[in-house]
Structure 1
């Protein structure tokens, strides 16, 4: 055992890279430039994420914008507020096919999603430690049930993508409840309503609850080609492999706590804040909570305020703004007014603390109000990232199809070797550094 510990320790030392070497060799960690902007790695016509403008080489922060195929998400959400609760299906069609659907096209698309679901091969006897892992298994099993899983035409990949998109909610809730849902999906309901019915195992929900869920799905559907899970999908797509492998890889990326798991952390932080405020609160108290979070004195003692700050958005995250608007309506419908006011005031307190302690301007991100929204919808935190995956599948499929059609080069960036050169001495049978 001591020998193993020594080997593990030596391995840690062998893998340690001097942080100063990244600057010396001008290696952009995280594919981020020195000014915080992202390194350009591709072109897309699917989604634009705007948080700043570059003017004469300088970065100027602006109110955030999220654009799907040329349309502002704010306009898309506003448009859907006057229609049946099928906003996610409309956005998924837009992302995948590049245009807003007519009523007939939307009906055909929804029917295609309905017809693509096949529950016959789902096994719910086994258990995994994480729903995202179960989701990967189920998607790879689709490969096994596909008679021609490696066919490479755009039409074939699109058809397989629709099958994945239609099946993924069933995969999540079959594994979550450890049971089959033979009656899913309800063809006369949109995905948001189906999700609420599957989560609660009943159709007891209000129209505003369905609207909030629909908005969450719409806003999580895509976030450009540079987010980690979409980029992982695009990298693997460039090898020419099957769409099932690409979707599974994207889910593996999303599982990571630095990417898709933040909403769960935000939920726990919400519970802590409400507990501290149960005997009364004011703005000064909320500021003290924010400072203690940054000082690693509260919650998980990570020094982070979950739901605050974003790599691109600085002045505002349009997703957070829109979710907040829907949360306000639901909070007043269901008697969560005080909780909503607490989080609304804590948002301002957290931004003030970040400015004072770290000298940076930041905004609430999508996770800040998503966690509160799921809480009001009575969705368990263990489902948060899986719901994110359900929504983001539309964007993953769209980027997969776009890159497979337009980018035929294998993505293969370079690393700089900074280790030693060594010689093997045959007579002594050991390595000598030089």
Structure 2
């Protein structure tokens, strides 16, 4: 409390630890991101998304036999119920992909006979339905809204390559598939961000995992959490050419605005994921024969950092969205699918957190999240209001 004995409110719970977790550690000062003890650089370079999903759900990297079994289960759970496809065809094609995703995700439960049984094994099984199902759901919606028939998943392809195939109708080249797979690894988990906290909040009520993930998707749909790489790409298109960068930066800084993709609430150096994505963006541009968006991003990074240092006397750093925008755009992913792509990756982390919240050995009986609030209503001064009938109200 302060000198006047007024409670200090930590707006947004920033800096407040609300739970313990073994899933992810973000070391902002050092620029480190760690999934269950493993550096993100090592995972992005050496592990597939399927391996990382297994790591997040089972607390260890799989051996060959475990990975083969896990991969087979994911492939078997890729098809979504025909009733969902029928529903997608009835939705307005103007519906945003995130609204569709939040609405349709709970319907994936109809294929899961053991959903809601409240055991770790059943929750892990449901997580597999969600990891596989979200990918198919997003691709199906994009085809439906564009008047095309959804494609059945291809079990000969890995998770990342299969999504791009279902989206475009063509299997991606191996290098593009590898870049997208690495992008999924990089977005899979990031500790107690807004959507993950939302998932854990819902899980603390003992709601099933589908409800928790649907809530997390709703949280991600908000512009203060998801969609930053969409705004990065919109910014790049607005700038257009390197000649316009300085004027754009000056206008943003003069108006007190933000350069999208620069700055992060946690990292006090470049986001380690951005350092991995940048060369992939460059190479992806070379693959399609158009590197202008990577080059524009790189030049904006250099000049933006210089301008912040000169005008504000402080450093600013790249976050994950800065280079993921040009990477996904070069892959031909529609801009309004950037945030759903985030979700089809982060669902692995959300599921791991739901399982930890409900079944972690350190807390077998999860405590319902129930924060307090300081009431500041003063409608009738220091006294309570006297109720009056409607005929007396003015």
Q: Which of residues 250, 253, 258 in structure 2 aligns to 1:294?
A: 253
Are the aligned partners of 2:123 and 2:355 in contact in 1 as well (CA < 8 Å)?
yes
1:412 partnered with 2:370: yes
Task: Give the alignment of 1:42-61 within 5 angstroms.
Answer: 42-52=19-29
- Structure 2 vs 1, CA of residues 260 and 360 (structure 1 numbering), >3 Å: closer, same or farther? same
Mapped contact 1:286–1:346 kept (Cα < 8 A): yes
Shift in alpha-carbon separation, 1:427–1:253, aligned structure 2, 3 A: closer
Q: Does 1:150 align with 2:130?
A: no
In structure 1, the partner of 2:90 is 126
Q: 1:428 to 1:137 in 2, by over 3 A?
A: closer
Deviations 1:12-46 (A, max 9, x none): xxxxxxxxxxx9531011112xxxxx211111111
Q: Once the two structures are superposed, what CA deviation does each residue of 1:379-408 show, in whole Å capped at 9, x if it has no partner?
A: 110110110000000000001101111341
CA distance in 2, matches of 1:428, 1:401: 50
The question of whether the paired residues in 2 share the 8 Å contact of 1:88 and 1:214 is answered with: yes
**1:290 and 1:350 in contact (8 A); partners too:** yes
Name the residue aligned to 1:69: 36
Alignment partners' CA distance in 2, 1:228 and 1:254: 7
Task: Please state how far the C-alpha of 1:94 moved relative to its aligned partner.
Answer: 0.8
* CA–CA distance in structure 1, aligned partners of residues 340 and 120 of structure 2: 27
1:93 paired residue among 54, 74, 84: 54
With normalisation by structure 2, the TM-score equals 0.89
Between the two proteins, the alignment pairs up a number of residues equal to 375
Q: Distance in 2 between matches of 1:219 and 1:75?
A: 11
Please give the alpha-carbon distance, in whole angstroms, between the structure 1 residues aligned to 2:215 and 2:231.
23
Partner of 2:286: 332
Unaligned runs of 5+ in 1: 1-22, 33-37, 53-61, 81-86, 297-301
Match among 359, 381, 384 for residue 422 of structure 1: 384
* Residues 236 and 296, structure 2, Cα contact 8 Å, conserved in 1: no
In 1, Cα distance between equivalents of 2:389 and 2:335: 61
Whether 1:27 and 2:9 are equivalent positions in the alignment is yes
TM-score, with normalisation over the residues of structure 1?
A: 0.81
Instruction: Tell me the residue number matched to 2:336.
Output: 382
Structure 2 unaligned segments of length 5 or more: list them. none
2:45 alignment counterpart = 78
**Which deviations, in whole Å up to 9, do the C-alpha atoms of 1:40-80 show, x marking residues without a partner?**
1111111111112xxxxxxxxx3x11101100010112224
The Cα shift of 1:188 comes to: 2.0
Residue matched to 2:263: 309
Per-residue deviation, 1:286:
2.8
Residue in structure 2 matched with residue 242 of structure 1 by the alignment: 208
- Of residues 216, 227, 231 in structure 1, which corresponds to 2:183? 216
Q: Provide the rounded CA distance (Å) in 2 between the counterparts of 1:326 and 1:427.
A: 68
- RMSD value, Cα: 2.3
